[in-house]
Amino acid sequence: MNPDSPEEDVIRQAGEELNSGNIVALPTDTIYGLCAHALDKEAIKKLYEIKGKKDEKGAPVLIGCQSQLNGLVRDISPHALNLMDSLWPAGLTLVLPAYPKLSPMLGEGGSSVAVRMPAQTLCRILAMRVGPFVATSANLSGEPPLLNAQAIFSRFQNKVALILDGGTTKDTRPSTVVDARGEKPKLLRQGMVDFDSVVRAWNKARKHAP
């Protein structure tokens, strides 16, 4: 399966499993992820149990277009919007104020949510088809990420409903994570996107502010 040119049947199968509250493992724009529908609280709980992950740490939500931020986030600043317009789709995860009705399991007890529009066709089309979905690294908490479908099957087996085989991950860099809630961007994790480009985009919005 080619993540940059996925077959319709692959999208359909993955979408059906996510909409049924099941866990899907797939290659994202960074590394393989374990995925659940972002608006299904029971599926998110199941995901964290499988991974052995504490829910207060949260997990990023992948979207297919900016309009899917509705119902996920609130009070987006002009600076954060400019980061999205300038840098997405990319391996850049933005921490933003969470929509009040969003599951508190997605981050900091419900006060924030981490969102990314991935630079990969598979994840964007899937998000457009089924809605935003949670994607956390395919591994048990505290262990290194698993880099191919066979390793994921060996570790999780029947706990995951569907595994999409996109080959072995060659670039194991995670996404860059930036807190975009304040007056200036705060780097939480350096990854695929250089933080200097984030700062430049942020300052560009400041210069054009009325």
Per DSSP, the three-state class of 80 is helix
Q: Is the pLDDT of residue 55 over 80?
A: no
Q: Is the pLDDT of residue 209 over 50?
A: no
pLDDT of amino acid 56: 56
pLDDT, one tens digit per residue, over 132-161 is 999 999 999 889 999 999 999 999 988 999
Residues 80 and 96: beta-carbon distance below 8 Å: yes
Q: What are phi and psi of 31, to 5 degrees?
A: -125, 180
**Residue 70 DSSP one-character state:** B
Beta pairing partners, 179:
95, 186
pLDDT of amino acid 58: 80
State if pTM tops 0.85: yes
Beta pairing partners, 37:
133
Per DSSP, the three-state class of 191 is coil
Q: Where are the domains of the chain?
A: 8-208
Beta pairing partners, 95:
114, 179
Residues 181 and 163: beta-carbon distance below 8 Å: no
Rounded to an integer, what distance in angstroms lies between the CA atom of residue 83 and that of residue 35? 25
**How many CB atoms sit inside 10 A of residue 108's CB?**
14
CATH class of the domain defined by 8-208: alpha beta
Residues 29 and 123: beta-carbon distance below 8 Å: yes
pLDDT, one tens digit per residue, over 59-112 is 999 999 999 999 999 989 999 999 999 999 999 999 999 998 888 888 777 789
Taking residues 47-54, report their average pLDDT. 87
**Polymer length of the chain:** 210
DSSP code per residue over 97-139: EBPTTS-GGGTGGGTEEEEE--SSHHHHHHHHHH--EEEEESS
